[in-house]
Chains A and B, each alone.
Chain A
Amino acid sequence: MSVETTPADRQGRSRSEELKTLTILWAIFTVLGVIFALIVPHHLMGPSASNTMTEVERTFTMFSVASAPVAAVVWALAVYSLMRWRRRGAWKEGDPDGPPLRGHGMTSGIWIFLSSALCLFLLIWGLAALSKVDSAAASGATPLEIDVTGQQWVWTFSYPSQGVESDQLVLPVNRPVVFKVTSDDVIHSFWLPEMGIKVDANPGVTTSTSTVPDRLGLYHVRCAELCGLLHADMETNARVVTSDDFDTWIAGQGGHA
């Protein structure tokens, strides 16, 4: 199949000029893509409120930057083909055909090599980030354990070591926290969008996720799995407070620090 035909097709510009224009187009698209990648996702995801989210935003930006030259190849070729090789008017019987190029070993080889290399890079990056996320709470101070229970359509947070139960999530800043998540009825999904963590709340089993909140503020807990009638209302607040404020809150709830 891979008959290599050197096209004797040299109408107008030379091959090097062709490549030059293409490269310029590609470079323009790449630069635009990289600028977009560096600004837009981070802006949309907002300031990170945990070490996990910092990692998520970094990975998202990194993948976007890495994708820019790839998408730019496709866009440059598409745009260039329309600029240079577009036929005016409809095809008619007897019109000349394009060059019979049935393949080009070198091009295919480079294409497959580059896409494999890129894939390998993404994989390594992903595995590294995964192990970082998984070990986030394993180090440092004793993690705070919080049992999260989803039920149609409220969240309940209990702090077993402190003997407190609440429908608000309050977290001390810079202290690792481990969430043990379960459900009383159907599947819910415990999501802290500003902290980049999510795990399903399954009836009958306990799943877990962890992070280190590193920014004071008022954030959200949302349900990310359709759980029936009031799924959209299944959200509450997550407050990240100083360690002192946290102890005060615990005491105010009748717990012990």
Chain B
Amino acid sequence: MTTADIYKTDPSPVAPHGGIMRRLNVGTGIIAGIVLAVVANVLAKKLADGHTHEPDVRAVFTMFGWAVGFLLGMGAFTGPFRWLVGRDLTHADELFLAGKDQGVGRYFRFTTDHKVVGIQYLVLVMVMLGAGGSMAMLIRTDLISPNSGFLGPQTYNSLVGLHGLTMILATIIMVTGPFGNFVVPLMIGARDMAFPRLNALSFWLLVAMLPILYSAAFLGGIPMGWVGYTPIADQGPPGVDAYMMAILVFAVSTAVAGMNITTTIVTMRARGMTWTRTPIFVYGVLASVVLALPAFPFFMAAELLLFVDRVMGGGFYVPNRGGQPWLYQNLFWLMGHPEVYVILIPAVTALMELTAVFARKPLFSFRIAVLSIIAIVGLSATVWAHHMFASGWAPDLNGPFMLTTEMISIPTGGLFLVILGTIWRGRIWTAFPMMCTYAMLWNFIIGGITGIYLSDVPLDYQLHGSMFVTAHFHYTLMGAGLTGAMGALGYWFPKMTGRMLGNTPAFVSFWLVQIGFNVTFLGMFMVGLQGQPRRVVHYDASFHTGNTISTLGAYCIGIGMLVLLYDVISSWRHGDLAPMNPWGAKTLEWTVPNPIPLENFAVLPVVTEDAYGYGEEPVPESEPEPVPASAGAEADVPGAPA
């Protein structure tokens, strides 16, 4: 039977109110998830009764049952299922799925509209940052004095791991999730993503993941930090199963989201939006997901092998069974280093995008920006073993990995050049988003330079595993990455919510967060240099000063974040209504009205020049169109502008 036949057998264009599909939402998802989890748990008990791995078998069955049940109950598979039984979705069904005329309810359904998914991601990211941030506060409170006794070692170790994993997962999605989904289709002049149902799936997979991840806290915790090193992970309590299953679900989500975003950007740009006219933020999002697509399967493979070890009695990582812990480390860091740039590139390009707007100048050397991004993406796949200099694995390779790592500083310098060049002689408007650009410049130069110390093998022998490393990557991921995401939030908030983000609280929050941040992590550099290891629940009295400074700084960040949260919520509810284009930007997302209609553009735009023509005369219409380099874009780009 061909697809055409299936369409013919569909008797009416409108199914009778879409049947059960219209009754599914997050509530039915939770119910179905719990039911299937209980069923799977009982089944697992029957299967593995009395076996050594029984607790692990039951844990993973239950978690798997929850995830599948939740997605089924959400209606995530309604489309494929209806297609299988010969009742493909009608246009009315598709509109229902897109959330047409459903008010707030659409945020609690399997809604496909990219703008709904973008907002869902934004809320999810804030929830995760809140959870991870609260854990950070507990950790820092414990470390306020050498032997505070605030947390026991088991709680502390679990918190360190869960804080790390929560924050890594949150920062991976914090730009490509909210802004990649909401803004990118608008920015490239598309009506939606290429695969709207996969878009919704990528989000709800993450919602399914969160209870799995945090169940670790009730299953004995995780003793091995967010990196999940083996063989300690092999020996851990069932909390480790939660860690492993959460990562597997997350990896599926990023794969789905990654191919969706890639396809959208490559094939759905507006007529005339050649690669040289595509905004830099679109490149940033594309680079991020293109890098994540090959990187995350390594993480998935690492956890699958751990799954076999823990649940099925394998021994991939168990030395006395011929296993090899360095295998895990290699697989992990093959994901772990690219992931740093998965986080950083979209955040930095978001700042580039808004720097051009707030300096009222074209982006300085678009070409260097693009080439730097490409070089970083390429190089970042070749540096993973710099995390293993001190592990004893392949000492002969330390030199080559030092080379590739230090080479990344050249294209990273290119990113600085682009931003500084754009600021040069601009008409700089230091609104909140632009302040984030300046904060990023300050933080990222410190994060970058301390990264060079760590790339140097003899220095890394000393600094690896110390608080210096912790401070370094917080400077990059938080100081540059999260600051970039906050700039992006301030910049696109008016388009996403239709209201302006309140200026004064944003200003107060900015200074609290940035000063608190620098105090926290300069204190941490200090104790790292003095010789304090990472992930310790108590420490030598000689590290007291730096730790107290760090803790006070952390509280300052916490208060600043609460101020920002207050600002976001209150502005979202009753902030000033935003004009269509409050910043006077030239990218396409600012050409749609507030609130944005369901399919964004009444008439799809045609692009005749890039979005950075500040201070320039508009390009004359007769200018010949360059031929696009990519085969994928050819279909979209006609020979001449309309």
Task: Provide the A207-231 mask, 1 if CB < 8 A to any CB of B, else 0.
Answer: 1110000000000101111111111
Whether the Cβ atoms of B423 and A81 lie closer than 8 Å is yes
Shortest Cβ gap from A125 to chain B (Å): 8
Shortest B579–chain A CB gap in Å is 10
Please give, as numbers and ranges, the residues of chain A lying within 8 Å of B431 by CB-CB distance. 90
Q: Could you tell me which residues of chain A, from 46 to 72, have a CB within 8 Å of some CB in chain B? A: 46, 52-53, 55-56, 59-60, 63, 67, 70-71
Segment of B34-42, B76-84, B112-120, B457-465 engaged in the interface with chain A: B457-465
The interface residues of chain A lying within 8 Å CB-to-CB of B364 are: 101-104
Q: Which residues of B from 384 to 404 have beta carbons under 8 Å from A?
A: 390-392, 398-399, 402-403
**Measured CA separation A222–B427 after assembly (Å):** 53
A187 B229 Cβ-Cβ under 8 A: yes
- Are A74 and B453 closer than 8 Å at their CB atoms? no
- Nearest neighbor of A195 in chain B, beta-carbon distance: B462
Question: Is A96 touching B427 in the complex (CB atoms < 8 A)?
Answer: yes
A-B contact pairs, 17 of them (CB 8 A): A2-B365, A45-B529, A59-B459, A70-B449, A78-B442, A87-B429, A96-B427, A98-B427, A100-B614, A103-B364, A126-B406, A186-B235, A191-B465, A224-B465, A225-B229, A226-B225, A231-B533
Residues on B with C-beta less than 8 A from A207 are 391-392
> Smallest distance from the beta carbon of A217 to chain B beta carbons, Å?
14
Q: Across the interface, do B423 and A78 meet the contact criterion of CB distance under 8 Å? A: yes
Contacting residues, chain A, for B410 (C-beta < 8 A) = 112, 115-116, 119
Residues of chain B lying within 8 A (CB to CB) of residue A231: 153, 157, 533, 535-537
A226:B530 contact, CB within 8 angstroms: no
- Cα A117 to Cα B229 in complex, Å, equals 37
Contact A98 B360 (CB under 8 A): yes
Indicate if A159 sits at the interface (CB-CB under 8 A). no
In-complex Cβ contact of A115 among B402, B413, B534 (8 A)? B413
Q: Known contacts A103-B365, A103-B368; is A196 also within 8 Å of B421 by CB?
A: no
Take A90-B431, A130-B458, A199-B390 as given contacts and tell me if A44 and B399 are in contact as well, using a CB distance cutoff of 8 Å.
Answer: no
**B57-65, B193-201, B318-326, B599-607 - interface stretch:** B318-326
Quick one: given A74-B445, A115-B410, A228-B223, are A196 and B362 in contact (CB under 8 Å)?
no
Contact status A59-B409, CB under 8 Å: no
Whether A189 sits at the interface, judged by CB under 8 Å, is yes
Asked if A7 is an interface residue, CB under 8 A from chain B, the answer is: yes
A203 at the interface (CB under 8 A from B): yes
B contact residues around A194 at 8 Å (CB): 531
Query: In the complex where A60-B453, A225-B465 touch, is A93 in contact with B584 (Cβ < 8 A)?
Result: yes
With contact pairs A98-B425, A226-B225 given, residues A59 and B456 touching in the complex (Cβ less than 8 Å): yes
- B-chain residues with CB within 8 Å of residue A208 when the two chains form the complex: 392
Q: Which of A101, A108, A119, A129 contacts B406 (CB 8 A)?
A: A119
Asked if A198 CB lies within 8 Å of chain B CBs, one says: yes
> CB-CB < 8 A to B52: which residues of A?
none
Closest chain-B Cβ to A90's Cβ sits at a distance in Å of 7
Instruction: Note all chain B residues with C-beta closer than 8 A to A90.
Output: 429, 431
Say yes or no: is A205 at the interface (Cβ < 8 Å to chain B): yes
Partner of B399, one of A1, A91, A103, A127: A127
Instruction: Please tell me if A27 contacts chain B, counting CB pairs below 8 Å.
Output: no
Which of the listed residues B366, B458, B466, B535 has the most CB atoms from chain A within 10 Å of its own CB?
B458
A1-B367, A82-B428, A97-B361 are known contacts. Are A226 and B441 too (CB-CB below 8 A)?
no
Contact: B429 with A91, CB < 8 Å? Answer: yes
Contact A100 B362 (CB under 8 A): yes
Chain A residue contacts of B102, Cβ below 8 A = none
Which A residues touch B614, using CB under 8 A?
Answer: 97-98, 100
- Chain B residues contacting A197 (CB-CB under 8 Å) are 461-462
